[in-house]
Amino acid sequence: MSLLDKFAVQRGLAASLAENSRLAPIATPMDDVHSATSATIDGRRVILAGTNNYLGLTYDAECRAAAIAAIESLGTGTTGSRMASGNYAGHRALEQALATAFGWPAAIIFSTGYQANLGALSALASEGDFLLVDADSHASIHDGCRLSHATTIRFRHNDPENLDRRLERLGDAARRTLVVVESLYSTLGDRAPLREIVEITRRHGAWLLVDEAHSFGVFGPCGLGLCEELGLLDDVDFIVGTFSKSLGGIGGFCLGRHAELELMRMVSRPYIFTASPAPSAIAATHQALRSVLRGHDLRARLWRNAERLYAEVARLGYRLGTTAPGPVAALVFEAREPALALWQSLIDAGIYTNLMIPPATPAGLSLVRISLSAAQSVDDITQIIAALDAHARQSRPPLAA
Ligand code: PMP
């Protein structure tokens, strides 16, 4: 067996997807992007319904102006780590703004959301500690666990009883255990039972980190996420998030209710050994944060779109990953072929969505992930529903069978 033979599975998968679809459904090439909701793919204009641009801020006039001004005054990149030459006033100001928004003492920003999980988990937990993570967590959480050298234990997805039993078994070691969950899971669009998870974690004396990547900007009176919405900000120890979804930029953060988080900068390798975010990314994100904090209307538009789409999708007979409306609507199939057929129908109708297939999905499911955005118009949503309706009518066997 040679070094490259291990790619046989991927070669087979790529060939089968190419055979069954005119256009690449994975890593679909975007010829051009025109706005938060419009792009050209394969020479045709499409509606974007497969991004994480929940508030549509990528084209926000103030965010763009802030990014351009930062490039003009500070250049295109920092060329250094925060520990060396890349620790600009803008980085520190954004950290301060995040900490202030949460009323917490410490915030650290990272160059991506992926690195925020790697950096937080590997610094908070080390050999002799325990990480107790939801089995369906994002790859960055699982990779952060590996980098930490702590003992990692998975508990069943969104199953508080299973978490309870595992903490019980850890006994006194629960005090050296960090429980890690997401608040909104982006594959099926389901939410964690955070109240139960908080209660169980506290009862056992363990610590809790919540990844709010897909819920920051979406939930809560100030848009701070699901913990804020549920009134749990005094009960959670750490929150990780990203700048690449609602905030429309690139970068990530970890916030802590404990001032010691600040010391993490001295040990977190994914923080230390990489260049700090570009000044333009920081300036755009800081402006986007201001919009989120005063963003009731943006959130209201997102929720109007989400509630309408969820109601219509269920009426058409599609199976949804969850019944509670949210910014992600996952149309779920047991097999890969009907998911691919739906994805193809939608792109042919001028709607771009995400096709997700095993092993990137939970429970071997295949799904078409539709994401909502505050920037989508009433007409965009009408067109998405019409395309779903047309596909459901021509499906054999019928979807609801
Ligand atoms: N956490 C979760 C739950 C995510 O879904 C993602 C990205 N999909 C990340 C972290 C990583 O964020 P980024 O893409 O900004 O690196």
Instruction: Report the pLDDT averaged over residues 77-96.
Output: 98
Average pLDDT, integer, range 89-118: 98
Domain boundaries, the chain: 14-55+296-394, 61-293
199 Cα: distance to centroid of ligand 1 (angstroms):
26
Higher pLDDT, 85 or 359: 85
Amino acid identity, residue 343? W
Which pLDDT band, with edges at 50, 70 and 90, does 401 fall under? very low
Region 61-293: CATH code:
3.40.640.10
pLDDT digits 0-9 by tens, 33-86: 999 999 999 999 999 999 999 999 999 999 999 999 999 999 999 999 999 999
The structure tokens 């209201």 sit at: 300
Q: What is the pLDDT of residue 221?
A: 95
- Give 301-344 pLDDT, tens digit per residue: 999 999 999 999 999 999 999 999 999 999 999 999 999 999 99
**Does residue 169 carry a pLDDT above 80?**
yes
The enclosing H or E element of 340 equals helix 336-348
182 burial type by CB count under 10 A (0-12 exposed, 13-18 middle, 19+ buried): buried
> Mutate which of 53, 137, 138 to test ligand 1's pocket (most atoms within 8 Å of Cβ)?
138
Residue 9 has pLDDT above 90, yes or no: no
Exposed/middle/buried for residue 133 (C-beta within 10 Å: 0-12, 13-18, 19+): buried
171 conformational bin, left if phi > 0, alpha if psi -120 to 50, beta if neither: left
Strand order in the sheet with 32-35: 32-35, 38-41, 44-48, 351-352
Q: What is the pLDDT of residue 295?
A: 79
Instruction: Say if ligand 1 is within 6 A of residue 112 CB.
Output: yes
What single-letter amino acid sits at 30?
M
Considering the entire predicted model, what is its pTM? 0.96
- Fold classified for 14-55+296-394: Aspartate Aminotransferase, domain 1 (3.90.1150)
Taking phi first (over 0 means left), then psi (-120 to 50 degrees means alpha), and beta for anything else, what does residue 27 get? left
Which of ligand 1's atoms lies nearest the C-alpha of 186? 5
Q: Which atom of ligand 1 is nearest to the CA of 115?
A: 16
Q: How far is CA 315 from CA 50, 187, 296, 399, in A?
A: 21, 21, 29, 11
Q: What is the pLDDT of residues 231-277, one digit of tens each?
A: 999 999 999 999 999 999 999 999 999 999 999 999 999 999 999 99
C-beta of 51 in contact with ligand 1 (< 6 A): no
Instruction: Write down the pLDDT at residue 360.
Output: 85
Mean pLDDT of the chain: 96
- Which range of 291-300, 355-364, 377-386 scores highest in mean pLDDT? It is 377-386
